[in-house]
Amino acid sequence: MSRLTSRSLTVLAAATVASALAAPAQAVPSYSFSCTGIISRDYTRQTVTGTIAGVGPTNTTVLDYRGEAQVAAASPTRTNAWWGGYYVTTYAMNQWRVGRDVNNTVYHVMLPNTRPGAAFNAILVSEFGGAGGPQGNWQNDMTCTAW
């Protein structure tokens, strides 16, 4: 029977820690999502598609009622201070700025703080722009699926 010295115990402990630290990193789960909402008339139908990876959306696109892309962003910017954090405080949804289209409309999508399951709700705000600043907005409640 071999005798373990304090040096061999130290080497053994270091090897154990090193093998534990060398374990492969867990991949961040991601899933696709699609949200659709309509405020009243057909032309108010909007769809948001993308991927949730980690804490926020990626590859996000806003489509109009014809299915035409209005704006897209590889990595929307979290803007929880926008509108005084209203959607964070009131609905527990993070606010993400998707972008500005050619007509100067800015799109913000609000997604739940918690990781959604197969179905969840979101809100899309479209702020219509103009030379003098915002010219009104749509706040579109959306039903969503994730897969």
List C-alpha distances in Å: 9 to 3, 5, 20, 92: 10, 6, 17, 51
In this prediction, residue 119 has a pLDDT band, given cuts at 50, 70 and 90, of confident
Q: pLDDT band at residue 114, thresholds of 50, 70 and 90?
A: low
The pLDDT assigned to 101 comes to 94
The dihedrals phi and psi of 49, each to the nearest 5 degrees, come to -125, 160
DSSP strand pairing (69-73 vs 56-63): antiparallel
The predicted pLDDT at position 54 comes to 80
Of 15 and 98, which is predicted with more confidence? 98
CB 65 within 8 A of CB 45: yes
pTM of the model: 0.78
Q: Which candidate, 108, 115, 1, places its Cα nearest to that of 51?
A: 115
Distance from chain centroid for Cα 130: 27
